[in-house]
Amino acid sequence: MKKNKVYIETYGCQMNFADTEVVMGILKNKGYQITKDADDANVILLNTCSIRDNAEQRIYGRLGNLKKLKEVDSSKVIGILGCMAERLRKDLIEDKKMVDLVVGPDEYRRLPEFIDEAFAGEKGIGVKLSRTETYDDIIPFREDGLSAWISVMRGCDKFCTFCVVPYTRGRERSRSLESVVEEIETLSQKGFKEATLLGQNVNSYNDNGRDFADLLSAAASVDTSIRIRFTTSHPQDLSDKLLFTIAEHRNLCNYIHLPVQSGSNRILEGMNRTYTIEHYLDLIDRARRIIPGVSFSTDIISGFPTETYEDHIATLDVMQKVRYDGAYMFKYSPREGTKAFKIIDDVPEDVKAKRLSEIIDLQQRISYEINQEMIGKYEILLVEGFSRKSNDFLAGRTDTNKVAIFPAAEGITRGDYVKIKINRATSGTLFGNLIESVDIKGNPLTLTA
């Protein structure tokens, strides 16, 4: 019997989810079948994340479970892909003897080879990083759906001192603009309604002088009924040209994920973030002037080495000044090999936790207040399907990436745009009444006979 069933689990950032689709594309081309059942698989792969210690611990836990499957059937191959493969290759394969296969983010083309080696009883290891690999020509395997991730650049050259990404994903490199446009054309033909352009730092996209604004503009023009989103932006490279491009295209979403990390200039310098808070706030002001109604989310780290109470207050202060719609908030986690790892992790765990919980509480209050202000307003949603709790309600997202719920109505399904009037809100969800079916611009749909 051919051993060709592969099961993949994905952890971490959206880049990893996009990579899993590339991996599935590569494996399907070689005759592998994707299965959703680990018991049934000949090859079990975990696409992993190293960004914080707790991500890695979770994956080690899962590996422990999966090894039990291997005890039952020793012919199964278990492999690690992604950032942990890059960071912990020796530990995983030699010291702990936990897996048969370790393949980093730039070696997925050779995955079928490594799997064959593993089937033959050897250890398959591919962890070289590349300066050029973008998987430009690989057609990712996607189930038909509404939203797609498209990775447009890989790696990161920013070297924030806390971050392991430049070491696990290597140097920045961009896909060609044409290949991204072609991918969106295919998505459009398949009925997709949303594409998110991904990169660790999308604003440094550069395809022979064509920058991220050029890419966004080309992406938005493929099919004006497809919403285009992007993430993640670094404040250093968010140009006015880019802001004007977002303002100009209706289907470029008015939503920017702009990690601030800390509100203290001293800490920002220690993090090598290359901007000051004054520069950051000025950028937010400019974006709000150029793109009326734009919303922001951010990433924040509490307890970076040497962070004082005053630094922490400065973070709370910047949150109040910007009033983010949402935030991803983390305790600092020392990562071996990074510059910050050499500085003593001197903020005690309980202090980090307390500061983090103050940050989370404040963000919840701000999100709640912002959402309350939306009551009585109209919003256009892209309908994603039934709400998680009940089939009597449909859920969708606003242009600014907020989840909104409204009573299900006949004839309205996943993939439709609708206009709703908000009548209630929590910090995480808007609730509304359906007004009418519309197009992406909010124009009522006229029924044709």
Q: Note the residues at the interface with ligand SF4 (CB under 6 A).
A: 156, 158-160, 163, 165-166, 200-201, 234
Question: Read out DSSP for 416-447?
Answer: -EEEEEEEEE-SSEEEEEEEEEE-TTSPBPPP
CA distance 101 to 296: 40
Report the run of H or E that residue 7 belongs to, with start and end: strand 5-10
- Give, in order, the Cα–Cα distances in Å from 386 to each of 51, 145, 192, 383, 405: 33, 14, 18, 9, 9
By CB under 6 A, tell whether 345 contacts ligand 5AD. Answer: no
CA distance 43 to 67: 12
**x/- binding map, residues 238-277, to ligand 5AD, per CB under 6 A?**
---------------------x-x----------------
The correct pick among 43, 50, 52, 319 for binding ligand 5AD (CB under 6 A) is 52
By CB under 6 A, tell whether 397 contacts ligand 5AD. Answer: no
With CB under 5 to 8 Å by kind, the binding choice for 52 among ligand 5AD, ligand SF4, none is: ligand 5AD
Give the residue with the Cβ less far from ligand 5AD, 6 or 329.
Answer: 329
Question: Residue 345 in contact with residue 333, Cβ under 8 Å?
Answer: no
By CB under 6 A, tell whether 406 contacts ligand 5AD. Answer: no
The correct pick among 88, 163, 291, 425 for binding ligand 5AD (CB under 6 A) is 163
Smallest separation, CB 345 to ligand SF4 (Å): 18
Give the residue with the Cβ less far from ligand 5AD, 126 or 259.
Answer: 259
Give burial (CB, 10 Å; 0-12/13-18/19+) of 158: middle
Smallest separation, CB 162 to ligand 5AD (Å): 4
Q: Order of strands, edge to edge, in the sheet holding 124-126?
A: 33-34, 5-10, 43-48, 77-82, 101-103, 124-126
**x/- binding map, residues 64-103, to ligand 5AD, per CB under 6 A?**
----------------------------------------
Pairing of strands 153-154, 173-174: antiparallel
With CB under 5 to 8 Å by kind, the binding choice for 380 among ligand SF4, ligand 5AD, none is: none
Question: Residue 275 in contact with residue 259, Cβ under 8 Å?
Answer: no
- Residues near ligand 5AD (CB under 6 A) are 51-52, 162-163, 259, 261, 299, 301, 330, 332-333, 335
